[in-house]
Amino acid sequence: MDKKDILEIFERMGAILRGHFLLTSGRHSDTYMQCAKLFVEPKLAKALCEELCEKLKGVEVDLVASPAVGGIIMGYQMAQILSTKNLFFERQDGVMALRRGFAIEKGAKVLVVEDVVTMGGSVREVIEQCKKRGADVRAVASIVDRSGGKVDFGLPFYSLLSMDIISYEAGQCPLCERGIPAVKPGSRDLK
């Protein structure tokens, strides 16, 4: 699949939204990549994750970790394809935490996955939490890199689709200046 094919899938699935959005990072944008729409069709989710796993050839991992909520389905699918274990981190009191009895073995070779990366804040938190537990974080992978390759995790970063989608600090957003209400489709503030 090339970029054109992947963009056509996003369009067909209604996964590219246009308007005024408040992103999980706190930034604003006129474009929102709703990967959850891709995962309503398991065969499509598998095909996209298989394509991404092809880019990971040579990266040895024995655990896939992801931030909740956006990375949960993707993490599960990636772990299944890679024949590894899978777990996810959730926010507890505003901080990424392992819950549900999940544990990471010291020395575990970890791949951190997220559906969409803008600034990479949630991914960085998961990386930090994995390292605190003695894990060897090997790489990061996402379906969409909204930064156009600018985000740097200090690790190899693989994405299926890299786009430089403009986002704005809240105080510098031209959509806010025009009085267009912002919508928050992400999951950061779920209770």
pLDDT truncated to tens, each residue of the chain (191 aa)? 899 999 999 999 999 999 999 988 788 999 999 999 999 999 999 999 999 999 999 999 999 999 998 899 999 999 999 999 999 999 999 899 999 999 999 999 999 999 999 889 999 999 999 999 999 999 999 999 999 999 999 999 999 999 988 889 989 999 999 999 999 886 555 44
pLDDT at 186: 64
Closest to 48 (Cα-Cα) out of 91, 11, 14, 5: 5
- The CATH number of whichever domain residue 71 belongs to comes to 3.40.50.2020
How many structural domains does the chain have? Answer: 1
Per DSSP, the residues of 117-154 read: ESS-HHHHHHHHHHHHTT-EEEEEEEEEETBTT----S
**Residue 102 counted as domain residue:** yes
The CA distance from 74 to 185, in Å, is 18
For residue 188, being part of any structural domain is answered with: no
- What sections of the chain are H helices per DSSP? 3-12, 42-55, 71-82, 121-132, 174-177
Residue 26 lies in a domain: no
Please report whether residue 112 resides in a domain.
yes
**C-alpha neighbours within 13 Å on the C-beta side of residue 126:** 31
pLDDT given at position 85: 97
pLDDT of residue 187: 58
Q: What is the pLDDT of residue 118?
A: 86
In a domain, 183, yes or no: no
**Could you list the residue range(s) of the whole structural domain that residue 130 is in?**
42-165
Q: In the sheet that 28-33 helps form, which strands lie side by side, from edge to edge?
A: 16-22, 28-33, 167-168
Residue 171 in domain: no
Distance CA 78, CA 91 (A): 22
In a domain? residue 35:
no
- Strand 167-168 with 28-33, pairing: antiparallel
